[in-house]
């Protein structure tokens, strides 16, 4: 089955700097890659997703890139703010099947003032 690895496990950046989180996946059939943000005591919230027919997607300060050949995808957050502090999870699934998500182990992002 699918295996998703995520790095780093923790990331500390200063406010205004950029943050990059990287994930790799094992199943070349995976074609849907969402990113979730989880704040303490809450469920994960979708922040951005990308499908395998595009290489990059951007939404304001958040962008995701996908390299299908290398089987890796990354989350980029620019101009980080304290409210960006949370745990971020990447995930992968195969669209058209059960669409169950396989998650990475998470990155705890801390944005310091």
Partner 1 sequence: GAGVSQSPSNKVTEKGKDVELRCDPISGHTALYWYRQSLGQGLEFLIYFQGNSAPDKSGLPSDRFSAERTGGSVSTLTIQRTQQEDSAVYLCASSPQPRGQSDTQYFGPGTRLTVL
Residues making contact with partner 1 (CB under 8 A):
4, 6, 32, 34, 36, 41-46, 49, 89, 91, 93, 95-106
Q: Which CB, 4 or 111, lies closer to partner 1? A: 4
Is 82 buried (19+), middle (13-18) or exposed (0-12) by CB count in 10 A?
exposed
Q: Which CB, 78 or 101, lies closer to partner 1? A: 101
DSSP string, 38-66: E-TTS--EEEEEEETT-SEEEETTEEEEE
**21 alpha carbon, distance to own chain's centre:** 7
Q: Which CB, 53 or 96, lies closer to partner 1? A: 96
Q: How far is the CB of 78 from partner 1 (least distance, A)?
A: 24
Helices (H) then strands (E): counts for the chain = 0, 11
Q: How far is the CB of 51 from partner 1 (least distance, A)?
A: 8
Q: How far is the CB of 31 from partner 1 (least distance, A)?
A: 9
Spell out the long-range contacts of 60-63 with Cβ–Cβ below 8 A and sequence spacing 24 or more.
none
Q: Which CB, 78 or 110, lies closer to partner 1? A: 110
């Amino acid at each position: 089955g699918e295996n998703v690895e995520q790095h780093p496990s923790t990331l500390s950046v200063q406010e205004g700097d950029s943050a990059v989180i990287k994930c790799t996946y094992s199943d070349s059939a995976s074609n849907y890659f969402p990113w979730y943000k989880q704040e303490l005591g809450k469920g994960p919230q979708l922040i951005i997703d990308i499908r395998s027919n595009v290489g990059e997607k951007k939404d304001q300060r958040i962008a995701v890139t996908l390299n299908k050949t290398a089987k890796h995808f990354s989350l980029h957050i620019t101009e980080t703010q304290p409210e960006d502090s949370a745990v971020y999870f990447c995930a992968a699934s195969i669209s058209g099947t059960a669409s169950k998500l396989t998650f990475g182990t998470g990155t705890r992002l801390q944005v310091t003032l």
